[in-house]
Amino acid sequence: MRHGLGRLMRFARSAALDLGTIGPQDPVGRKFAYFGDGAAILWPQGSIYNEHYLSVGDGTLIGPNVCLTAGMAPGQQMVTNPVVAIGKRCIIGRGSHIIGHWSIELGDDIQTGPYVYITDQNHTYADPDEPIGRQWPVEAPVRIGQGSWLGANVVILPGTTLGDHTVVAAGAVVRGSFPSHCVIAGVPAKIVRQLHPSGEWGPPLT
């Protein structure tokens, strides 16, 4: 009996994965600013709201439990559109969060590990007497160049710009601008390897 119930549960889960996946022709998919051909957001989804400010490129696969939002709450009016733009043929790892308020742009062919967090807004702490959670947040655009790889548990903070084909090591906390063809790691993230003009990889260029 246990084996029969197990098969039934696995069948039900497989059916739910298929039925719950969001594609470009689904009602939720049609709410997006753009939802490309062959793109999918796998079930179960995390929080998704203000879809008309979100763009998902052709062939992009967004894993289960990914949160993809514009603004702080459903129905919020935003001043840019799209707020979050994900390029073509990207893979966003399960449990990741892409939380946009101003501008987050991911180029084509980007892949992430699980539980990556990308945001363009953060709290300030300028007033020493006011609780940080009550101080007005600030935004700065985020750009991630095409062909890049973000390892598991990477955090991308506001104002970050990554060049093309950048590798971000697992667990890195990234803020600032980094060139194409480099490997960055650490907290805060720094360049640890870089492609030299000779075509070989080596220590960071000074």
Residues in the chain: 206
Radius of gyration, CA atoms only, the chain: 19
Q: CA 68, CA 54: separation in Å to the nearest integer? A: 8
Which one of the listed residues 3, 97, 101, 123 is annotated catalytic?
123
Q: CA 82, CA 205: separation in Å to the nearest integer? A: 35
Is there a cis peptide before residue 74, judged by omega within 30 degrees of 0? no
Q: Is 196 a catalytic residue?
A: no
Q: Find the Cα–Cα–Cα–Cα dihedral 114, 194, 202, 150, rounded to 10°.
A: 0
Taking the CA of residue 193 as centre, how many other CA atoms within 13 Å lie in the half-sphere pointing to its CB?
12
Q: Are 47 and 74 within 8 A, CB to CB?
A: no
**Catalytic residue numbers?**
123
